Chain A
Amino acid sequence: GEDVEQSLFLSVREGDSSVINCTYTDSSSTYLYWYKQEPGAGLQLLTYIFSNMDMKQDQRLTVLLNKKDKHLSLRIADTQTGDSAIYFCAESHQGGKLIFGQGTELSVKP
């Protein structure tokens, strides 16, 4: 089936690390994605990971993939107030179809 799940809210203090978790169902997904949506804006691709990788690091962002458990996480180091947004994970399906999670609203307190 098509089901991507995320927790709905996360609150952290500025300077702390944030970890946003996601579980997915389709083990044949080639890529898994993290998108960011700021208030009133469209989605912006943050990073993605190929399904044969375990980890990808991109500046403050670290993506971990556990294929056995179908678990994906996004770690944001040194979280800033500008990181406050909704974060969506997504799995890829044939034909360019993306299945999104419900989104995790990250709130960063000063």
Chain B
Amino acid sequence: DTAVSQTPKYLVTQMGNDKSIKCEQNLGHDTMYWYKQDSKKFLKIMFSYNNKELIINETVPNRFSPKSPDKAHLNLHINSLELGDSAVYFCASSLDPRDNEQFFGPGTRLTVL
């Protein structure tokens, strides 16, 4: 009965490839987020969706495209992967944008070779 789940847990790929990371939450939350954690553990928000609509879009290269097919899912597609994309990507969810109690998934460690 995992609250926020992500797949895959590990992803190793070559530069230039396109890959997707999936996130699902079974908490009935309306808002979902993607964060990137770099090698120095610095954690930064990338996107936020509320009820399938984009509400936060930080300065992220347009190679990153989030997609929310429904409220319970927020997937992250990355085109033309670069070495600097190597990081741990965390999905999170909250009841709504005003509720800052965010529940985090276990993370996806992406390694670009």
Q: Are B42 and A102 in contact (CB under 8 A)?
A: yes
Binding site for B on A (CB under 8 A): 30-31, 33, 35, 37, 40-45, 48, 86, 88, 92, 94-100, 102-103, 105
Of the stretches B14-22, B68-76, B79-87, B101-109, the one at the interface is B101-109
Q: Are B56 and A95 in contact (CB under 8 A)?
A: yes
Q: Are B105 and A96 in contact (CB under 8 A)?
A: no
| Interface size counted on chain B using CB atoms at 8 A | 28
A24 to chain B, nearest CB (A): 14
Closest to A105 in B: B41
**What are the residues of chain A within 8 A of B99 when measuring CB–CB?**
96
Contact A48-B100, Cβ < 8 Å, known A43-B90, A102-B40: yes
Q: Are A88 and B100 in contact (CB under 8 A)?
A: no
